[in-house]
Amino acid sequence: MTKIAAGSCLCGGVRYEVHGPLREVIACHCSQCRRTSGHFVAATAALATDLDLKTSSTLRWYQSSATAERGFCARCGSSLFWRQTAPATAWTSIMAGTLDAPTGLRTGAHIYTADKSDYYDLRDDVPTFPQWPR
């Protein structure tokens, strides 16, 4: 399989490759994403079957809500993945900042902007949505 992208956590305890297309980057401003990352989250996504964990001994999953879990490195604390668990989907979100550059990706939307914090403004021309655009 051809590697499309690769990435890792800060310490290298989790290293991955993606062998299929990546979705455009979505910036999520919900309170859970802000708390897990320290700001808003910028994430792409790939089919879970296209995500190949090369090194994952420090990868841990945290059930962050009744419907989702977040993957992070237990050694360095890097936030790496998000996936819906109920109902489960075929997709895994990948934190865009963990990808090796160049990514070739662009930000396609800001979501949950109704929940964004007050210390920053959105001043780009990327579409914004107060919730998840269904």
CA dihedral 11, 15, 20, 24 (to 10 degrees): -10
Does CATH number 2.40.10.480 belong to domain 5-22+42-105?
no
What is the pLDDT at residue 59?
Answer: 98
What residues does each domain of the chain span?
5-22+42-105
Q: 15-59: per-residue pLDDT in tens?
A: 999 999 999 999 999 999 999 999 999 999 999 999 999 999 999
Whether residue 73 has pLDDT greater than 80: yes
What is the pLDDT at residue 98?
Answer: 98
Whether residue 134 has pLDDT greater than 80: no
Residues in the chain: 134
What whole-number distance in Å separates Cα of residue 95 and Cα of residue 80? 5
CA distances, 111 to each of 33, 59, 67, 102 (Å): 11, 27, 18, 24
